[in-house]
Structure 1
Amino acid sequence: MDQRALIARLEMPLADYVGDDATARDVILAGLTWPTDTASGYWQGLAVDWIEQGAAVDAEMVGFVTAIATTAKLPQQLRHKARKIVRRWQSENHNFHS
């Protein structure tokens, strides 16, 4: 599926998402991996919001969230949210190394 079609779904709350042709994970990964050619981090921010709303997280997703947390050109608020997700993942005894 086209990544642009997937990321547009991030504009709705996770609770309203009905994944007929793509899972929530697919949508979140599309947002997390969207090119950071702008400093707004809009799509990454929406993907992080879905994770904060309770989407399941796996090691691959945490790898991308870690990259967001350390990308200086992205907004500080987004980087802090991303760090919180990574810390929570690590505290749940997951063995993830970036």
Structure 2
Amino acid sequence: MIFVYDYHPGCETLLNRHFSPDQPGYCDPFINDTSTPRPYSYQKNNLLRHTQNNKLPEPLIWNYIIQLTSALRVIHSSALACRSLDPTKIIINSRNR
């Protein structure tokens, strides 16, 4: 089996860039018990672990929204579906692209 994928050096995922566990306000209820099954809502709630002081700047949010919606527009115009729009699948380079 051979996997082929593009290599993007210096890039990181949206989840790692803005929702890392070492930021203040992060509390992982499953940190002590790794054998406990995690509910589906656990993944969604992981995105809500910022405190009020760590909000993303509005221009950066708009930058992400415009880039993601234009990517979705290209995908949909090709009669395809985007089935994996997830913070772990979106990569960001040093210029937030």
TM range (shorter): 0.3 to 0.5
Report the structure number with the largest CA radius of gyration. Answer: 2
TM-score, length-scaled by structure 2? 0.32
The structure that is helix-richer by fraction is 1
User: Which protein has greater RCO, CA pairs closer than 8 Å, 6+ apart?
Assistant: 2
TM superposition score normalised by structure 1? 0.32
